Structure 1
Amino acid sequence: MSVTVSTHQRPAVCGRPSTAMPRAVSTAADRMVACFMDALAGEVTSELARAAVPAVTEHFLDCANRVAAGRDRPEGFPHLERTAERWARANVALELVLHAVHAGFKTGIDLLCRPPDRISEPGAIDGLGARLQLVVDLLDRSTTAVTMAYVRNMRADAQPHHTAAHTLVSALLSGHATSAQARECGITMAASYTVLAVHIPPPQSNPGNVVVARRALRRVQAELATRYQGRALALLSVDGGTVLLPRPEHDDDGDDLDELIAKLSEAGRIPVLAATLTAERGDIPEAAEHAHQLLDSVTRLGYPSGVYRFDHMALEVQLSRPGPARDSLAALLAPLDGHPELTELLRIHLGNNMNRQSTAKHFEIHANTVDNRLKRITELTGLDPVTGDGAWMLRSALIARGRAPGLPPLPAST
């Protein structure tokens, strides 16, 4: 594809008619326009965007020529920014535009690296090094102008969707979402959703820094948006929140939530925890409440990053709920308050399914020492961890105190 620009069609650039530009600029502009249009061939469907290419090209080259000759250096490229905004609205891919910009620079670099028409003018830039620095500077400014124009357009497009998504997810969580509301938001509601209660812990590197926490949140949100292409409905803060994932019809396996949380943790550089339930659209409020109850139990017990489900954590949820029953269970371990080493041994031993050899290896002690400490626990609490009833009561007491027995189990996939 080859494109040339006739002289009578050229607009004014840099405040003067383009016909007044040096012939070298005009020739290079024609070559750069052709290069631009070749790079964007088949992608630029807007006539407005296509017509802007020659003007932007000549604008850049004329400014470059004026600067090289020692005249005024432009503060920015407002014309290029406005044109890039038109490209963005015409859905021209940013990578293609940047490719075109760089391709144009390659074509025009021979002009910028040889003496200007009026090398004798005061302040003219001479020397290959200085001219290459000029090329890099102009390329930096041009790339920044194009990218910022696309970013502004993206933000303008994303803000209504972001607000609409927040409105819809709030309505779903309150049980007041309607199909009409969803259509007004431009979002199609699913018949059922995977409800995720999400906990985002403070960044370990700087737990009190709100700026660092917000950056982690933005990385998590970006990963979520990339993975679900805007289909995920989320209400998230720096501490976490709720995410609703639409469930496709005839999908028995659902989303790979374990992989999702692993990716969110990797993106945010923080150990994200989540509790999940599936629910029909009308049951979302109740499901979200139960999911957050499970999440509270998981975080209180100190479980690691992962996805936790009710069918594997029902006992922990029930035993950790506030009330007289929990207080009574927690009181069973009061006699061990002055013996933290016994409490820790009990926790690990119950987590090892009462395997004395595994417990001994964990603490690097003899198995007989494990037996002696278990007997001491029995003397103090009146409950024998070797028996089924005693082990069950002691395990429940540990959970009531927020101490998960042993190492947390791996969250099972559904």
Structure 2
Amino acid sequence: MSAEELAAAIAARCESRVNSLTREIVAEHEAVLPGFAELHGGMLEVETASTTRHGVRLFLRVAQGRGSSDQDMRLFRERAAQRMSDGVRLTTLLSGYAVGYRAIWRMLCEEAGPGEEAGLHRLGELMVTALERTMTAVCEAYLLEAELARRGEAMRAVARLLLQSPPTREDPTPDPGVPGVPGVQALAAQHGITLEPSYRVLAFTLRHPGAPPAVSRRRHAVQGALDRLAAQPVLTLFDQHAGHALLPARLAVPTAKLGRRLVEAAGPLHAGLASADSLTDIPATSRQAARIAQVAAACDRPPGVYELGDVLVEFHLSTPGPAAQALSSRLALLEPSLVATLEAFFAADFDRRATAAALTVHPNTVDNRLARVAEALQADPRTAGGILLVGAALAVRRLEGFHFRQTV
């Protein structure tokens, strides 16, 4: 048999060990690579295992003469970019691949029998070639992502300055940390970033943001979704729980489509959208958009993007003041079962039978409770005036328990 045939025979005998070897390699990663065990569990158990399994199978396939293509490197490139975003050092990443290839070599040596030395020699040559090709793909993808990250830092710096309040005529004293529009324009020009004359400001909050690696991924997913919708890099600024994005006003992306894409990319989130006619309007507009997002979340609206008109009443009622306190105090007069009945009555669009079904009571019980509410509040929730008053009071009650975060 030729060296190639012997190599193929040894590789074929290793096929049944792919899954067990994958588990060994992942375990060795955790044992010998600094910080690996602290990485997000989903990444450790799913992504690392799938990448390792792909690499082992790819090498065995090549060793059996079935060849490979540049497409086979795609997963390695994607994982390298993700690891860079996760903050994994390139040296740690490359060490992980070295761990994997050493494990493959040990397996090949264990499977090789007497008289198959030439095949093992050929496998060694193939392994050096595979290692070189894989390392090249990983390094290129990692460094490209690092360059994109540096570009992203410049864009975030510009976004941060645009979102901060500039000096006004009433308060002309400039804040050293807020250079105003000319300073932002100069910084943007320095980094080759073209500013639009007007923007639609998007502010969003993430439900259950999770551990730092998971947060980083969701940010990356949101950024990617926005960039694809705009067909250009979008100015964004994120923190642990929320973020802002500046969408060029000339891009007419429907709100519903924007909401679908964001939820598909990053999971459940609430976003507010408002228009800034000029760069100086962006800070105030961003606060309005953030308030819209928080009101939508507080009112338990479905995940998506909301504009002011979608939450107009709730937005108005979310501002603390004597009127809101007076509305809230009205419901405090009612026992819990009556408040629950009102919530169900409004949710059922004032249908007493649907309300009764939701509460698992008789429709007459609903009527009795609504009558008691009317007597206690001096406002009948079955009349136009009562609907306005009680609806506003219920909205204030929902908003009271929500913590409205300070935004940029």
TM-score bin (small chain): 0.5 to 0.7
Q: For residues 138 and 359 of structure 1, what CA distance do their matches in structure 2 show?
A: 71
Deviation for aligned residue 1:211? 3.6
Partner of 1:315: 313
Alignment equivalent of 1:161, drawn from 135, 151, 172: 151
Give distance in 2, aligned partners of 1:192 and 1:266: 27
Amino acid at match of 2:271: A
- Unaligned ranges ≥5, structure 2: 4-68, 75-113, 167-179, 401-408
1:370–1:242 CA distance, 2 compared to 1 (3 A): same
Normalised TM-score (structure 2): 0.60
Pairing partner for 2:192 from 170, 186, 190: 186
1:236 to 211, 235, 238: 238
The alpha carbon displacement at 1:139 in A equals: 5.9
2:275 pairs with 1:278 = yes
Q: Provide the rounded CA distance (Å) in 2 between the counterparts of 1:227 and 1:151.
A: 23
Q: Distance in 2 between matches of 1:159 and 1:324?
A: 48
Q: Does 1:177 align with 2:181?
A: yes
- The aligned amino acid for 1:241 is G
Report the equivalent of 2:382: 386
**1: distance between equivalents of 2:245 and 2:332?**
39
Q: 2:365 is aligned with what amino acid?
A: T
CA distance in 2: counterparts of 1:143 and 1:150, whole angstroms: 11
> How many Å separate the matches in 2 of 1:383 and 1:134?
86
TM-score (norm 1): 0.60
Matched ranges for 1:263-412 at <5 A:
263-268=261-266, 270-282=267-279, 283-336=281-334, 338-339=335-336, 341-402=337-398
What letter is aligned with 1:177?
V
Larger-Rg structure: 1
CA RMSD of aligned residues (A): 3.2
Q: Determine helix, strand or coil for the equivalent of 1:332.
A: helix
- How far apart are the structure 1 equivalents of 2:204 and 2:331? 31
* Percent of matched pairs sharing the same residue: 28
Counterpart position of 2:221: 219
- Equivalent pairs counted in the alignment come to 278
Query: In 1, distance between residues paired with 2:349 and 2:399?
Result: 16
Alpha carbons 1:217, 1:238 under 8 Å: kept: no
Compare 178-187 and 310-319 and name the one that shifted more. 178-187
- One-letter identity of the residue aligned with 2:367: D
Offset, 1:187: 1.2
Matched, 1:198 2:200: no
3-state SS of the aligned residue for 1:401? helix
Distance 1:144 1:345 in 2: 64
Structure 1 CA distance, aligned partners of 2:122 and 2:231?
41
Could you list the runs of 5+ residues in structure 1 that have no partner in the other structure?
Answer: 1-23, 25-93, 100-121, 405-414
Change over 3 Å in CA distance of 1:126–1:358 after alignment to 2: same
Following TM superposition, by how much is the alpha carbon of 1:387 offset from its aligned partner in structure 2, in angstroms?
1.3
In 2, the alpha carbon distance for the partners of 1:272 and 1:95 equals: 37
Distance 1:389 1:132 in 2: 87
Determine helix, strand or coil for the equivalent of 1:190. Answer: coil
Amino acid at match of 2:192: G
